[in-house]
Amino acid sequence: MSNNSSEFQKNSEVKLSDPNLWVDLYGDYLYRFARSRLRNDTIAQDLVQETFLAALQHQHKFIGNSSEKTWLTSILKNKVIDYFRRVVKENTVDPILPYEQEQLFENDEAEIPGHWRSGYSPSQWENTPQHDLEKKEFWEAFQRCHEKLSEKLAVLFSLREFDEMATAELCKVLDISESNMWVMLYRARMHLRRCLEHTWFGKVVQKGK
Amino acid sequence: MKNLLVKMVKPIKSAFNISCQKATVLISLRRDSTLNLMQALRLKLHLSICDACTRFDKQLTLLHESLHFHTHNETVSENEQTLPEDIKTRMKSEISSRL
Protein backbone atom coordinates (compact mmCIF):
# COMPACT_ATOMS: atom_id res chain seq x y z
CA MET A 1 0.00 0.00 0.00
CA SER A 2 2.66 2.48 1.02
CA ASN A 3 4.52 1.44 -2.07
CA ASN A 4 1.57 2.36 -4.21
CA SER A 5 1.17 5.81 -2.81
CA SER A 6 4.83 6.66 -3.20
CA GLU A 7 4.62 5.33 -6.73
CA PHE A 8 1.70 7.62 -7.31
CA GLN A 9 3.56 10.62 -5.94
CA LYS A 10 6.49 9.87 -8.15
CA ASN A 11 4.22 9.63 -11.17
CA SER A 12 2.37 12.80 -10.47
CA GLU A 13 5.64 14.70 -10.56
CA VAL A 14 6.30 13.65 -14.12
CA LYS A 15 5.48 16.47 -16.46
CA LEU A 16 5.57 16.73 -20.21
CA SER A 17 8.36 18.77 -21.68
CA ASP A 18 7.71 21.97 -23.60
CA PRO A 19 5.69 20.98 -26.73
CA ASN A 20 7.87 23.38 -28.72
CA LEU A 21 10.70 20.89 -28.27
CA TRP A 22 8.76 17.81 -29.34
CA VAL A 23 9.64 18.00 -33.02
CA ASP A 24 13.38 18.17 -32.28
CA LEU A 25 13.24 15.56 -29.54
CA TYR A 26 10.97 12.94 -31.09
CA GLY A 27 10.22 13.97 -34.68
CA ASP A 28 12.77 11.74 -36.39
CA TYR A 29 12.06 8.78 -34.15
CA LEU A 30 8.30 8.97 -34.69
CA TYR A 31 8.79 9.49 -38.39
CA ARG A 32 10.91 6.34 -38.66
CA PHE A 33 8.32 4.43 -36.66
CA ALA A 34 5.57 5.48 -39.07
CA ARG A 35 7.66 5.24 -42.21
CA SER A 36 8.81 1.67 -41.58
CA ARG A 37 5.20 0.59 -41.35
CA LEU A 38 3.67 2.77 -44.02
CA ARG A 39 5.98 2.83 -47.04
CA ASN A 40 4.85 6.35 -47.94
CA ASP A 41 6.75 9.49 -46.89
CA THR A 42 3.87 11.94 -47.03
CA ILE A 43 1.40 9.81 -45.14
CA ALA A 44 4.02 9.07 -42.49
CA GLN A 45 4.71 12.79 -42.10
CA ASP A 46 1.03 13.60 -41.85
CA LEU A 47 0.49 11.00 -39.15
CA VAL A 48 3.42 12.33 -37.12
CA GLN A 49 1.96 15.82 -37.39
CA GLU A 50 -1.47 14.54 -36.30
CA THR A 51 0.20 12.78 -33.39
CA PHE A 52 1.76 15.99 -32.08
CA LEU A 53 -1.52 17.85 -32.37
CA ALA A 54 -3.48 15.09 -30.67
CA ALA A 55 -0.88 15.00 -27.89
CA LEU A 56 -1.27 18.75 -27.42
CA GLN A 57 -4.99 18.37 -27.10
CA HIS A 58 -4.74 15.54 -24.61
CA GLN A 59 -1.79 16.74 -22.54
CA HIS A 60 -3.81 16.42 -19.36
CA LYS A 61 -4.25 12.71 -20.01
CA PHE A 62 -0.53 12.07 -19.74
CA ILE A 63 -0.18 10.51 -16.29
CA GLY A 64 3.48 9.69 -16.42
CA ASN A 65 3.29 5.94 -16.05
CA SER A 66 5.29 5.77 -19.24
CA SER A 67 7.91 8.04 -20.74
CA GLU A 68 6.88 10.94 -22.90
CA LYS A 69 8.32 9.19 -25.92
CA THR A 70 6.38 5.98 -25.23
CA TRP A 71 3.24 8.02 -24.80
CA LEU A 72 3.69 9.80 -28.13
CA THR A 73 4.54 6.51 -29.81
CA SER A 74 1.33 4.93 -28.56
CA ILE A 75 -0.68 7.83 -29.97
CA LEU A 76 1.10 7.43 -33.29
CA LYS A 77 0.49 3.69 -33.27
CA ASN A 78 -3.23 4.30 -32.96
CA LYS A 79 -3.08 6.75 -35.84
CA VAL A 80 -1.30 4.14 -37.93
CA ILE A 81 -3.95 1.54 -37.06
CA ASP A 82 -6.73 3.97 -37.99
CA TYR A 83 -5.07 4.50 -41.32
CA PHE A 84 -4.67 0.75 -41.82
CA ARG A 85 -8.31 0.15 -41.08
CA ARG A 86 -9.22 2.50 -43.91
CA VAL A 87 -6.79 0.77 -46.25
CA VAL A 88 -8.21 -2.67 -45.50
CA LYS A 89 -11.76 -1.41 -46.04
CA GLU A 90 -10.94 0.27 -49.32
CA ASN A 91 -8.85 -2.52 -50.84
CA THR A 92 -11.27 -5.31 -51.47
CA VAL A 93 -9.46 -6.60 -54.54
CA ASP A 94 -6.26 -8.39 -53.69
CA PRO A 95 -3.78 -8.57 -56.55
CA ILE A 96 -1.53 -11.57 -57.07
CA LEU A 97 1.99 -10.95 -55.79
CA PRO A 98 5.00 -11.28 -58.11
CA TYR A 99 6.39 -14.26 -56.25
CA GLU A 100 3.03 -15.99 -56.13
CA GLN A 101 3.25 -16.61 -59.85
CA GLU A 102 6.03 -19.07 -59.30
CA GLN A 103 5.00 -22.62 -58.71
CA LEU A 104 6.86 -23.63 -55.57
CA PHE A 105 5.25 -27.02 -55.04
CA GLU A 106 4.69 -30.06 -57.24
CA ASN A 107 1.18 -30.25 -58.61
CA ASP A 108 -1.32 -33.03 -58.06
CA GLU A 109 -0.13 -35.22 -60.92
CA ALA A 110 3.42 -35.37 -59.65
CA GLU A 111 4.89 -38.38 -57.95
CA ILE A 112 4.90 -36.59 -54.59
CA PRO A 113 2.23 -33.89 -54.84
CA GLY A 114 2.73 -30.84 -52.65
CA HIS A 115 6.46 -31.45 -52.33
CA TRP A 116 8.87 -28.58 -52.99
CA ARG A 117 9.74 -28.47 -56.67
CA SER A 118 13.43 -28.95 -57.30
CA GLY A 119 15.18 -25.58 -57.43
CA TYR A 120 12.44 -23.96 -55.38
CA SER A 121 12.93 -25.49 -51.97
CA PRO A 122 14.25 -23.16 -49.23
CA SER A 123 18.01 -22.86 -49.47
CA GLN A 124 20.47 -22.66 -46.62
CA TRP A 125 20.73 -18.99 -45.59
CA GLU A 126 24.41 -18.54 -44.87
CA ASN A 127 24.76 -14.80 -44.71
CA THR A 128 22.38 -13.73 -41.99
CA PRO A 129 23.04 -10.04 -41.28
CA GLN A 130 25.55 -9.59 -38.46
CA HIS A 131 27.07 -6.12 -38.50
CA ASP A 132 25.25 -2.82 -38.49
CA LEU A 133 25.98 -2.15 -42.12
CA GLU A 134 24.69 -5.57 -43.16
CA LYS A 135 21.64 -5.08 -41.02
CA LYS A 136 20.97 -1.78 -42.72
CA GLU A 137 21.38 -3.33 -46.16
CA PHE A 138 19.20 -6.25 -45.17
CA TRP A 139 16.53 -3.84 -44.01
CA GLU A 140 16.68 -2.01 -47.32
CA ALA A 141 16.39 -5.30 -49.21
CA PHE A 142 13.46 -6.21 -47.01
CA GLN A 143 11.79 -2.87 -47.70
CA ARG A 144 12.07 -3.42 -51.43
CA CYS A 145 10.31 -6.77 -51.02
CA HIS A 146 7.79 -5.27 -48.62
CA GLU A 147 6.93 -2.62 -51.19
CA LYS A 148 5.85 -5.32 -53.62
CA LEU A 149 3.17 -6.53 -51.24
CA SER A 150 -0.31 -5.16 -51.65
CA GLU A 151 -0.93 -2.43 -49.12
CA LYS A 152 -3.38 -4.58 -47.22
CA LEU A 153 -0.93 -7.46 -46.78
CA ALA A 154 1.90 -5.08 -45.95
CA VAL A 155 -0.15 -3.47 -43.23
CA LEU A 156 -1.16 -6.74 -41.67
CA PHE A 157 2.35 -8.15 -41.82
CA SER A 158 3.86 -5.05 -40.20
CA LEU A 159 1.47 -5.02 -37.29
CA ARG A 160 1.90 -8.71 -36.68
CA GLU A 161 5.65 -9.09 -37.17
CA PHE A 162 7.04 -5.69 -36.15
CA ASP A 163 4.65 -4.92 -33.34
CA GLU A 164 3.67 -8.46 -32.36
CA MET A 165 0.10 -7.34 -32.14
CA ALA A 166 -2.16 -10.12 -30.84
CA THR A 167 -4.09 -11.84 -33.61
CA ALA A 168 -7.45 -11.41 -31.89
CA GLU A 169 -6.82 -7.69 -31.62
CA LEU A 170 -5.69 -7.54 -35.25
CA CYS A 171 -8.93 -9.15 -36.43
CA LYS A 172 -10.90 -6.75 -34.31
CA VAL A 173 -9.26 -3.49 -35.32
CA LEU A 174 -8.98 -4.39 -38.99
CA ASP A 175 -12.41 -6.03 -39.01
CA ILE A 176 -11.36 -9.25 -40.76
CA SER A 177 -12.05 -12.90 -39.96
CA GLU A 178 -9.44 -15.09 -38.33
CA SER A 179 -9.15 -17.49 -41.28
CA ASN A 180 -8.87 -14.58 -43.68
CA MET A 181 -6.05 -13.16 -41.58
CA TRP A 182 -4.20 -16.50 -41.54
CA VAL A 183 -4.38 -16.76 -45.30
CA MET A 184 -3.14 -13.20 -45.74
CA LEU A 185 -0.24 -13.65 -43.32
CA TYR A 186 0.71 -16.89 -45.06
CA ARG A 187 0.76 -15.15 -48.43
CA ALA A 188 2.81 -12.25 -47.11
CA ARG A 189 5.36 -14.55 -45.48
CA MET A 190 5.65 -16.78 -48.55
CA HIS A 191 6.25 -13.75 -50.73
CA LEU A 192 8.74 -12.04 -48.43
CA ARG A 193 10.73 -15.18 -47.71
CA ARG A 194 11.02 -16.02 -51.36
CA CYS A 195 11.80 -12.44 -52.36
CA LEU A 196 14.59 -12.14 -49.77
CA GLU A 197 15.98 -15.51 -50.75
CA HIS A 198 16.21 -14.20 -54.28
CA THR A 199 17.38 -10.66 -53.76
CA TRP A 200 19.42 -10.86 -50.57
CA PHE A 201 20.52 -14.38 -49.72
CA GLY A 202 20.87 -15.48 -53.32
CA LYS A 203 22.82 -12.38 -54.30
CA VAL A 204 25.56 -12.75 -51.72
CA VAL A 205 25.94 -16.46 -52.35
CA GLN A 206 26.72 -15.65 -55.97
CA LYS A 207 29.21 -13.00 -54.92
CA GLY A 208 31.12 -15.58 -52.89
CA LYS A 209 31.50 -17.93 -55.83
CA MET B 1 2.71 -61.72 -42.35
CA LYS B 2 4.94 -58.93 -43.54
CA ASN B 3 2.31 -57.90 -46.05
CA LEU B 4 -0.28 -57.72 -43.35
CA LEU B 5 1.93 -55.48 -41.30
CA VAL B 6 2.51 -53.16 -44.25
CA LYS B 7 -1.23 -53.08 -44.85
CA MET B 8 -1.84 -52.10 -41.24
CA VAL B 9 0.87 -49.49 -41.06
CA LYS B 10 0.01 -47.78 -44.33
CA PRO B 11 -3.26 -46.09 -43.29
CA ILE B 12 -1.73 -44.95 -40.03
CA LYS B 13 1.23 -43.52 -41.88
CA SER B 14 -0.91 -41.72 -44.41
CA ALA B 15 -3.08 -40.27 -41.66
CA PHE B 16 -0.01 -38.51 -40.36
CA ASN B 17 1.59 -37.74 -43.67
CA ILE B 18 1.35 -34.19 -44.91
CA SER B 19 2.83 -32.54 -47.95
CA CYS B 20 5.44 -29.80 -47.76
CA GLN B 21 2.82 -27.36 -48.97
CA LYS B 22 0.53 -28.24 -46.10
CA ALA B 23 3.48 -28.13 -43.70
CA THR B 24 4.30 -24.54 -44.70
CA VAL B 25 0.69 -23.57 -44.00
CA LEU B 26 0.93 -25.10 -40.53
CA ILE B 27 4.33 -23.50 -39.89
CA SER B 28 2.87 -20.11 -40.67
CA LEU B 29 -0.32 -20.81 -38.73
CA ARG B 30 1.70 -21.84 -35.69
CA ARG B 31 3.09 -18.31 -35.49
CA ASP B 32 -0.40 -16.84 -35.11
CA SER B 33 -2.43 -19.50 -33.41
CA THR B 34 -2.20 -22.73 -31.44
CA LEU B 35 -2.29 -25.85 -33.58
CA ASN B 36 -4.67 -28.59 -32.55
CA LEU B 37 -3.18 -31.89 -31.43
CA MET B 38 -3.47 -33.57 -34.83
CA GLN B 39 -1.96 -30.64 -36.68
CA ALA B 40 0.87 -30.41 -34.18
CA LEU B 41 1.67 -34.12 -34.44
CA ARG B 42 1.58 -34.10 -38.22
CA LEU B 43 3.85 -31.09 -38.40
CA LYS B 44 6.27 -32.47 -35.86
CA LEU B 45 6.53 -35.71 -37.76
CA HIS B 46 6.97 -33.90 -41.05
CA LEU B 47 9.68 -31.60 -39.71
CA SER B 48 11.55 -34.59 -38.29
CA ILE B 49 12.05 -35.96 -41.80
CA CYS B 50 12.05 -32.84 -44.01
CA ASP B 51 15.12 -30.57 -44.15
CA ALA B 52 13.57 -28.10 -46.57
CA CYS B 53 10.58 -27.37 -44.34
CA THR B 54 12.83 -27.21 -41.28
CA ARG B 55 14.83 -24.50 -43.06
CA PHE B 56 11.59 -22.77 -44.00
CA ASP B 57 10.52 -22.76 -40.35
CA LYS B 58 13.86 -21.32 -39.19
CA GLN B 59 13.77 -18.67 -41.90
CA LEU B 60 10.39 -17.38 -40.78
CA THR B 61 11.74 -17.12 -37.25
CA LEU B 62 14.87 -15.34 -38.42
CA LEU B 63 12.78 -12.94 -40.47
CA HIS B 64 10.55 -12.16 -37.53
CA GLU B 65 13.44 -11.65 -35.13
CA SER B 66 15.45 -9.35 -37.33
CA LEU B 67 12.44 -7.25 -38.31
CA HIS B 68 11.15 -6.95 -34.79
CA PHE B 69 14.61 -5.99 -33.60
CA HIS B 70 15.12 -3.49 -36.37
CA THR B 71 11.81 -1.70 -35.86
CA HIS B 72 12.31 -1.47 -32.10
CA ASN B 73 15.98 -0.68 -31.85
CA GLU B 74 16.98 2.91 -32.34
CA THR B 75 20.72 2.58 -32.61
CA VAL B 76 20.40 0.40 -35.68
CA SER B 77 18.15 2.80 -37.51
CA GLU B 78 19.84 6.00 -36.36
CA ASN B 79 21.38 6.80 -39.70
CA GLU B 80 18.18 6.25 -41.59
CA GLN B 81 15.32 8.41 -42.70
CA THR B 82 14.83 11.69 -40.89
CA LEU B 83 12.12 14.28 -41.25
CA PRO B 84 12.94 16.92 -43.88
CA GLU B 85 13.73 20.32 -42.37
CA ASP B 86 10.83 22.14 -44.05
CA ILE B 87 8.40 19.58 -42.62
CA LYS B 88 9.90 20.07 -39.17
CA THR B 89 9.48 23.83 -39.44
CA ARG B 90 5.87 23.39 -40.51
CA MET B 91 5.19 21.08 -37.58
CA LYS B 92 6.80 23.45 -35.10
CA SER B 93 4.73 26.39 -36.25
CA GLU B 94 1.56 24.27 -36.14
CA ILE B 95 2.35 23.34 -32.57
CA SER B 96 3.29 26.80 -31.36
CA SER B 97 0.17 28.29 -32.98
CA ARG B 98 -1.90 26.07 -30.73
CA LEU B 99 -0.11 26.72 -27.47
Contacts of A30 (CB under 8 A, 6+ apart): A48, A51, A72, A73, A76
Using alpha carbons, select from A206, A185, A182, A189 the residue that is nearest to residue A104.
A189
Confidence of residue B75 (pLDDT cuts 50, 70, 90): low
pLDDT number for residue B3: 80
Contact A40, A48 (CB under 8 A): no
Q: What's the gap between Cα A155 and its chain centre?
A: 7
Helix axes A132-147 and B51-72, enclosed angle (nearest 10): 100
> pLDDT digit string (tens) for B81-90?
789 999 999 9
Query: How sure is the predictor about B74, in pLDDT bands with cuts at 50, 70 and 90?
Result: low
> Could you give the CA distance from residue A173 to residue A167 in angstroms, rounded to a whole number?
10
Nearest CA in chain A to B62: A128
ipTM of this predicted complex?
0.81
Report d(CA B34, CA A194) in Å as an integer. 25
CB nearest to B92's CB, from A20, A114, A124: A20
In Å, how far are A125, A141, A196 from A207, measured between CA atoms?
14, 16, 16
For chain A, the residue count is 209
Nearest CA in chain B to A52: B95
